[in-house]
Amino acid sequence: MPKAIIDEIKTLCQEKNAIILAHNYQPTEIIVLADILGDSLQLSIEAARSEAEIIVFCGVRFMAETAAILNTKAKVLLPAETAGCPMADMITAEQLREYRRQHPDTVVVCYVNSTAEVKAESDICCTSSNAVKVLLSIPEDKRILFVPDQNLGRWAGRQAGREVELWNGYCPVHHWGFTSLQVKNLRKKYPEHRLLAHPECDEDIVDNADAVMSTSGMVAEAETHDKLIIATEKGLTDYLSKLHPEKSIIPLSPRAICRNMKKTTLHNVLDALRYEQHHITVEPEIAAGAKKSLQRMMELIS
């Protein structure tokens, strides 16, 4: 019974001084339950400033790891133990170390969708909502490598007017999930709709969008626009349609689903709180290195 489970989750949160953070792609029942909902940047900021003893992170592993790095006092729990991000695994710390041995003067910008080890080997982190700002902060005479997402790196480089060397990683959901034909067809069917694309999408999609933004940018955009086509993970469109039933909010593809984000359930959130599992920790030396890259990003936006 969802109501009984939700009540128990809420009681345990109170008893244990726990909060629930959820990413915008989480299943709707988790979004509704969460204390705080957001994109990667917002959730990192909230995790860093939280005074709760337990943070239940409804998202994927790199997000929970980031929370654990930024908040060493709280116990960070990931309800779905196997919820990973395939893009984060498209570069290893050893590969990046090897690159740095060969290119010691290049500044490495690392998308937060990466492991703590890779963040520790990078100079500065970024998220989809501040990648352009991060690139603009780098001295113009410096070469830049962007890891691991080629699509975000390419788009942000163009916006910033900077040449950026791209790692060849990508998000399978955004890179393969949308086609130019879908854009053409939906544009024809809904000529008055505004097409919003996440910067993880392939350049064919991003170049044909009306605006490119993070998931929380899309949440904000839905406050002021009535007709939207959304090119990102479908969970966000589901949530926005529920939030604004009077508006026309359509997914560019109903099949763009991140299976890892959907591994969180009410049951595993309850178990996370009951048994304080799965505790996400990062080795202190790696956490210290990753924190430096994250803090450089945080300083830029504060």
Shorter beta-carbon distance to ligand SF4: residue 18 or 238? 238
Evaluate whether 19 touches 51 at the Cβ level (below 8 Å): no
Under the binding rule (CB under 6 A), the answer on residue 214 touching ligand 13P is yes
The binding track of 169-208 with respect to ligand SF4, each residue x by CB under 6 A or -, is --x-xx-------------------------x--------
How many chain residues interact with ligand 13P (CB under 6 A)? 11
Instruction: Return the closest-CA partner of residue 196 out of 169, 179, 219, 176.
Output: 219
Q: Does 260 engage in binding with ligand SF4 (CB under 6 A)?
A: yes
In the complex, minimum distance from the CB of residue 37 to ligand 13P, in angstroms, rounded to a whole number: 10
Token digits of residue 266? 């009410």
| Mask for 23-62, x = binds ligand 13P (CB under 6 A) | -x--------------xx----------------------
Q: Which secondary structure element, helix H or strand E, spans residue 94, and what is its range? A: helix 93-102
- Sheet strand arrangement including 18-23: 36-38, 18-23, 54-58, 75-77
Task: From the list ligand SF4, ligand 13P, none, pick the one residue 123 interacts with, judged by a Cβ distance below 5 to 8 Å according to partner type.
Answer: none
162 contacts: CB under 8 Å, gap ≥ 6: 135, 136, 138, 140, 144
Query: Where in 152-171 is the site for ligand 13P (CB under 6 A)?
Result: 171
Output the DSSP codes for 169-203.
B--HHHHHS--HHHHHHHHHH-TTPEEEE-TTS-H
Q: Which member of 64, 85, 272, 282 binds ligand SF4 (CB under 6 A)?
A: 85
My answer on whether omega of the bond before 278 falls inside 30° of 0, hence cis, is yes
Which of ligand 13P, ligand SF4, none does residue 215 bind (CB under 5 to 8 Å by kind)? ligand 13P
Instruction: By CB under 6 A, tell whether 87 contacts ligand SF4.
Output: yes
Q: In whole angstroms, how close is the CB of 218 to ligand 13P at the nearest point?
A: 8
For ligand SF4, give the closer residue by CB, 12 or 122.
Answer: 122
Q: 9, 12, 56, 60: which one contacts ligand SF4 (CB under 6 A)?
A: 60
Q: Amino acid identity of 41?
A: L
Bridge partners for 147 per DSSP: 110
Instruction: Residue 260: name its binding partner from ligand 13P, ligand SF4, none (Cβ under 5 to 8 Å by kind).
Output: ligand SF4
Cis peptide before 251 (omega within 30 of 0): no
> What's the alpha-carbon Rg for the chain, to the nearest Å?
19
Could you tell me the CA-to-CA distances from 54 to 19, 34, 36, 47, 302 in Å, in that order? Answer: 6, 14, 14, 10, 25
Q: Specify the DSSP element, H or E, that contains 32.
A: helix 28-33
272 binds, among ligand 13P, ligand SF4, none (CB under 5 to 8 A by kind): none
Considering only residues 94 to 123 of the shown chain, the ones binding ligand SF4 according to CB under 6 A are 113
Report, in Å, the least distance between residue 235 CB and ligand SF4.
9
Binding site for ligand SF4 (CB under 6 A): 60, 85-87, 113, 171, 173-174, 200, 233, 258, 260-261
Q: Name the site residues for ligand 13P (rule: CB under 6 A).
A: 24, 39-40, 113, 127-128, 171, 198, 200, 214-215
